[in-house]
Amino acid sequence: MRAVIQRVSYGSVKVEGKIISEINHGMVVLLGIDIDDNEEDISWLANKIIKLRIFGDEKKLMNNSLINVKGDLMIISQFTLFAKTKKGSRPSYTNAAKPPKANNYYNFFCDEIESLLCKKVKRGIFGADMVLNIENDGPVTIYIDSKSKD
């Protein structure tokens, strides 16, 4: 699994011109599912994200997690995180999980985060053409791959 995590002051997602999810202070996570991902990847990445200390403390040092600041979270499925660009100009997505698996794992990941946070997360619509509005706070953007745990 791959995740691009952005600390945000605001985030929203539109489908067909209508806002379907919206958050304030928190994180927007763009999540890609690999063909070889498993439940261990889901658990590891979910725990990593909610404990990631990227929010400022009273000294404005990044010492607080999403849990500490009681922040919001929006998770968007993003198969293009597995783009291969080595050959030619058109990206290949052969390592991205096919829709049935990707959709199941996306929902399982969101459910896992909700269980850990004890609150609902905002979601996009899997497979939909979405328009994201992200106000990156910092800017802070972190990339994590569950296959590179070191």
Active site residues: 80
Q: Residue 90: in which H helix or E strand, if any?
A: none
Q: Residues 100, 35, 134, 114: what is their CA dihedral angle, to the nearest 10 degrees?
A: 70
Residue among 76, 61, 63, 60 nearest 27 (CA): 76
Q: Which residue has the tokens 């009273």?
A: 58
Strand partners, 12: 22, 133
Residue among 82, 77, 73, 62 nearest 22 (CA): 73
For residue 105, the Cα-to-chain-centroid distance in whole angstroms is 13
The answer to whether 144 and 46 are in contact (CB under 8 A) is no
Q: What are phi and psi of 108, to 5 degrees?
A: -60, -40
